Amino acid sequence: MWARNIQFTSAMLAVALLNGCASIIGDSKYPVTIASTPPEASFDIVNRSGQVIYNGVTPTVVTLQSGERYFRGETYTLRFKKEGYPDRQVELDSSVSGWYWGNLLLGGVIGMLIVDPITGAMYKLPERVSTDMGAKVSIAPNQLQISTVDDLSPEQRAQLVQIK
């Protein structure tokens, strides 16, 4: 009986030392709901390296990696566009998972310094990203033209002086 307890304890210790707490309980990929007001805005997701990794239309759910590389969480930039509205940009940053700190109790040094940082499981992402596209623009930005009096011809200036 005592030998069986030692075997069980040894097996549990081996599992704890060879795995990270966040890798066991947490994850390195997270579903993130992408939304906008009003809905049906197109968006791109750009990773920290500047690569567009996803294009879509709100609302939708996208699964994203929480870690970029060893001991570095991923950061994403979401660029929203909808005709008649100003473009918006939102940053999505990862943060350290609470499960990562479980390595202090269960995962040990290997989990804390190797497994969780390599797998990206030491980081987590928010469940939702949303933006308000703002007020609808009546004139599209590419149609707006601003002129000053200096840009006018002499005839156009004369017409302005005659208007009272």
Per-residue pLDDT of the chain (164 residues; tens, 9 = 90+): 555 555 545 444 444 444 444 444 455 688 999 999 999 999 999 999 999 999 999 999 999 988 776 667 789 999 999 999 999 999 998 877 655 556 556 556 555 555 555 665 677 889 999 999 988 877 655 666 666 767 778 887 777 666 55
Find all residues with CB under 8 Å of 124, minimum gap 6, and list them.
Answer: 26, 30, 66, 94, 95, 96, 97
**Residue 70 has what pLDDT?**
67
H helix intervals, 1-153: 2-18, 21-25, 108-110, 116-119
Domain segments of the chain as ranges: 2-136
**Residue 72 has what pLDDT?**
73
**Residue 117 has what pLDDT?**
52
The backbone region for 136, taken as left when phi is positive above 0, alpha when psi lies in -120 to 50, beta otherwise, is beta
Handedness of CA 98, 76, 51, 81 (dihedral sign): positive
User: What tokens appear for 72 in the block?
Assistant: 């570095």
Place of tokens 């707006």: 144
* Rounded Cα gap, residues 9 and 72, in angstroms: 33
**Residue 18 has what pLDDT?**
43
**Residue 153 has what pLDDT?**
80
Q: Is the whole-model pTM more than 0.95?
A: no
User: What tokens appear for 101 in the block?
Assistant: 């700190």
CA angle, 111 as apex, 21 and 99 as ends, to 5°? Answer: 30
Query: What does DSSP assign to residue 14?
Result: H
Neighbours of 54 (CB within 10 A): 16
